[in-house]
Amino acid sequence: MRIRNAATAALGVLLMVAGCSSDDGGSDAAEETHAHGHSSSSPAMSTPPPTTAAPTPVIADQLPGMPPVLDAGNVYSETGPDDLSEAARAARPMVYVPHNSGEVWEIDPATFQVVAKFPAGLEVQHVVPSWDMRTLYATDDIGNTITPIDPVTGQNGPRIPVDDPYNMYFTPDGAAAISVAEARRSLVFYDPHTWVEQSRLQIPECAGIDHADFTPDGRTAVFTCEFAGRVAVVDVPSRTVLRLIDMPVMNTHMGPQDIKLSPDGSRFYIADSDQGSLWVLDGAATQVIGEIPTAPGTHGIYPSRDATQLYVTNRHSGSISVLDANTGAPIATWTIPGSASPDMGGVTADGTQLWLSGRYDNEVYVISTADGSLLARIPTAGKPHGLCVWPQPGRYSLGHTGVTR
């Protein structure tokens, strides 16, 4: 295991930020982007300052029905080790591993043993916690179904028809489940209880629509476009596209992947596999303000349990980059011994372990968050993907493999 210290790692990071502009100028830029469909040029960049503003007690004009932000300086303030909801406390601790082979495997996190397996479709991509955390869903985009899983018993139920659920999220108010229909270049909104389709938003310019995260007020979502080298910014209440933002380098093979909001809400981090970097988007989702080099195959982004660090997986280099969650400053690099392809997963409720699927090596990794050491390497079926560690702390789930707030 190789660990870089922060001083050494800092030499390899390049942070670039666009010059400051007035509110009126930002609004004009957004309108121009919307009118033309996407940003036509890359902004000039310089070094971004670290976030220094003190936390404010509230977020103005939050999405109605969304649980209120209690600490504007940390949107993850309610996801500490002791913040398990009633539903989460009732759940049996388990790690759910979906495979492109169509199965979901259940691994006991106490023993690292596979304790159950079940079929869940033709090509299962992710295991996604529902907004109320009472159900998990295994998404099968090829078979156009989701399979509900009872987290209390680990038992699965009958499959539910959903159009192309490559990934799945929930609006912050819990009013809709969003099937991220990658093959359709669309977002399909469903009633999260009846699974009746509510509406559909086509985004033809967003090839490879994939991962998402939301602004602190819950009103804006940013979806990555892996095969278009850009992101789509969506207004949640009206379910319309506000603008498309091109990355400074528009990678279209394995471009923008996972995305995560910083705890203080000042920026979004966008993983770009081809670039081997994180792009930094401003917190209002109007422009790219920087780039943070990581390593080839940059893919997943996961906050530490105390939300002070980000764990960034680099699946082509077999490593995890550890960054300061608010500033993006490098802290360490953890390298998994031998051939490894860390992909997606999550942090345990107590914060002591990071579980990740090994996408190209047919295995799961358990990593100590204390020092990055490898605790276990568990063989699995073919191409394990969106692994879900359950239960997770938090009041509600935004979806994916357990994005909670």
Round to whole Å and give the CA distance between 204 and 255: 17
Which phi and psi angles does 158 have, rounded to 5°?
A: -60, 145
Of the candidates 86, 83, 88, the residue with the CA atom closest to the CA atom of residue 70? 83
Cβ(98)–Cβ(106) below 8 Å: no
Which residue in the block uniquely carries the two structure tokens 């380098």? 249
Cα distances from 354 to residues 203, 213, 296, 314, in angstroms, run 34, 20, 20, 14
Q: For the whole model, what pTM was predicted?
A: 0.86
Instruction: Write the CB contacts of 70 (distance below 8 Å, at least 6 apart in sequence).
Output: 77, 78
Per-residue pLDDT, averaged over 83-105, amounts to 97
Assess whether pLDDT exceeds 90 at residue 197. yes
Q: For residue 6, give the 3-state DSSP assignment.
A: helix
Q: In the structure, what pLDDT confidence band is assigned to residue 58 with cuts at 50, 70 and 90?
A: confident
Q: For residue 235, give the 3-state DSSP assignment.
A: strand
Assess whether pLDDT exceeds 70 at residue 95. yes
Q: Name which residue leads in pLDDT, 39 or 143.
A: 143
Assess whether pLDDT exceeds 70 at residue 218. yes
Cβ(175)–Cβ(194) below 8 Å: no
145-159 tens-digit pLDDT? 999 999 999 999 999
Q: What is the DSSP letter of 63?
A: P
The share of the chain scoring above pLDDT 90, in percent, equals 85
Our CA angle for 226, 332, 301, nearest 5°, is 30
Q: In the structure, what pLDDT confidence band is assigned to residue 293 with cuts at 50, 70 and 90?
A: very high
pLDDT of amino acid 60: 87
Q: Name which residue leads in pLDDT, 8 or 139.
A: 139
Cβ(117)–Cβ(103) below 8 Å: yes
Mean pLDDT lowest among 17-31, 103-117, 267-281, 359-373: 17-31
Assess whether pLDDT exceeds 80 at residue 3. no
Per-residue pLDDT, averaged over 235-254, amounts to 98
Strand duo 309-314 + 298-303: pairing: antiparallel
pLDDT of amino acid 13: 38
Round to whole Å and give the CA distance between 324 and 162: 38
Instruction: Write the CB contacts of 8 (distance below 8 Å, at least 6 apart in sequence).
Output: none
Assess whether pLDDT exceeds 50 at residue 341. yes
Mean pLDDT lowest among 49-58, 194-203, 279-288, 382-391: 49-58
Q: For residue 360, give the 3-state DSSP assignment.
A: coil
Which phi and psi angles does 182 have, rounded to 5°?
A: -60, -45
Mean pLDDT, rounded, of the chain: 89
Query: Which amino acid is it at 66?
Result: M
21-54 tens-digit pLDDT? 333 333 333 333 333 333 333 333 434 445 555 4
